[in-house]
Amino acid sequence: MEDRARKLMERGWKDAAKVGAYMASHGLIPDQVITSPSSRTLETWKSAATAFRSPPGAAVVERLYDATAQSILTSIKDAVPGTHTLLVVGHNPGLHDLAVMLIAAGDVQARERLREKLPTSGLVIIDFAFDDWGKLHPQCGRLERFVTPKSLGSAAS
């Protein structure tokens, strides 16, 4: 099967729903969502979005498919003006590389865990001291939190 058409596995649906529920219960509701055009990223957002009362629609951004950190950064800089919170649903290693590149501060242990790996359905929340996505540059963000389906599973038990 062509990679873009590859569907999300059952575990992926469950993990995305778990992270979506976490986001909704903590008031982490994005103003805008951008996603890669691959089937599995669209399904990831679809599964996570079920947790929200009124989920925002997702804009499909072609260049997010298998993108480098720099390409993802360019897509983020093109976010709709006035967007306060933006959710990017994409692929590794690009997302992982971008997260590590943007973070300059935040919980040291969480930063070390993130440096090691950004797993599928991992949620990285980075806070920036400005509201203009066009100002994004390396080392400009603070890691607010890093959540994985596994960490949510162990917290629940």
Model pLDDT for residues 43-86, shown as the tens digit of each residue:
999 999 999 999 998 999 999 999 999 999 999 999 988 899 99
CA–CA gap between residue 116 and residue 136 (Å, rounded): 23
Q: For residues 27-54, give the mean pLDDT.
A: 96
Exposed, middle or buried: residue 110 (CB in 10 Å: 0-12, 13-18, 19+)? middle
Q: What is the pLDDT of residues 106-116, one digit of tens each?
A: 999 999 999 99
Average pLDDT, the chain: 94
User: What are the two backbone dihedrals, phi and then psi, of residue 32, each rounded to the nearest 5 degrees?
Assistant: -140, 145
Average of pLDDT values for 15-33? 96
Distance, in Å, from the CA atom of 76 to the CA atom of 141, rounded to the nearest integer, reads: 14
pLDDT over 50 (residue 157): no
Q: Which pLDDT score is estimated for 131?
A: 86
pLDDT reported for residue 155:
55
Token reading at 84 = 């306060």
* CA dist., res. 76 & res. 86, Å (int): 8
Q: What length is written for the chain?
A: 157
Indicate whether 7 pLDDT > 60: yes
Record the pTM. 0.93
Per-residue confidence band for 1, with pLDDT thresholds at 50, 70 and 90 = low
The structural domains of the chain, ordered by start, are 3-151 (3.40.50.1240)
